[in-house]
Amino acid sequence: MNNETNQNFSNLLENPKDFDVKIKVGENPNIKEFKVHSIILSARSDYFKAALCSRWAKREDGFIVFDKPNISPLVFEILINYIYTGTFSNNNEVSLLDIFIAADEIGLVEISQQIKKPLKNEVLGYVWQNKFLKAFEFCEEILENIPHSVEGQKSALSWRFPSIRVESEDINELSKILCKETTLTSLDLSNLNIGSRVKAGVKKDE
């Protein structure tokens, strides 16, 4: 989208005219209603294209009414702004993982791709500090919450962990993780170097 179109669509979102969809997001007491346009949502998201079609859509007083209780208003506001303007902006106010999970669910691949690198870097940061339990629990949360995307799961499982020294006091924590019967058993841990005195540098994604 060019700048003029972005501004026009942003104005349309902030001051909705001729909207035909009301989307209620969040759960009590944190609920917000968004007044949006089915033609824009359907053009930008296959998820909404299917959800808002006449076969599935629920109507009240001439409007399509759609509930999305599993996404918070703050997260949805970021996603709907992207749908209307093509601009992704967070300013570190909302959890990237929450945005990643919601974007994956409604098929906003571009946002998922942008967030993937900082999420991976967060995991690597925990590993680099030998905080294995924190790192792998974070990975597990990612994998458990993106069932909508087989490619996303394959991508996360392909992450290679840095070559690091595992101190003796950390081995018990690591062994607990390796014994867990979860999707974590598919992660690539070949670079973990138990007992080595050499700590290789880890290059995080730019």
pLDDT tens digits, 54-70: 777 899 998 999 999 99
pLDDT tens digits, 24-36: 999 999 999 999 9
Instruction: Strands of 2-101 (E only): list them.
Output: 21-27, 30-36, 58-60, 63-68
Does residue 199 or residue 34 have the better pLDDT? 34
- Enumerate the domain spans of the chain: 1-94, 111-206
User: Which among 25, 61, 20, 66 has a CA at the least distance from the CA of 40?
Assistant: 20
Instruction: Strands of 49-173 (E only): list them.
Output: 58-60, 63-68, 164-166
pLDDT tens digits, 123-178: 778 877 777 777 777 777 777 776 555 455 455 545 555 544 445 445 455 555 55
Percentage of residues in the chain having pLDDT higher than 90: 28
Q: Using the predicted structure, report yes or no on whether residue 195 has a pLDDT greater than 60.
A: no
Half-sphere exposure of 106 (CA within 13 A, CB side): 26
Spatial contact of 161 and 187, defined as CB atoms under 8 Å apart: yes
Instruction: Using a cut of 0.85, tell me whether the model's pTM lies above it.
Output: no
User: Which among 102, 193, 195, 197 has a CA at the least distance from the CA of 142?
Assistant: 102
CB-based contacts of 68: which residues, under 8 Å, 6+ apart?
23, 24, 25, 26, 76
Residues in the chain: 206
CATH number for the segment(s) 1-94:
3.30.710.10
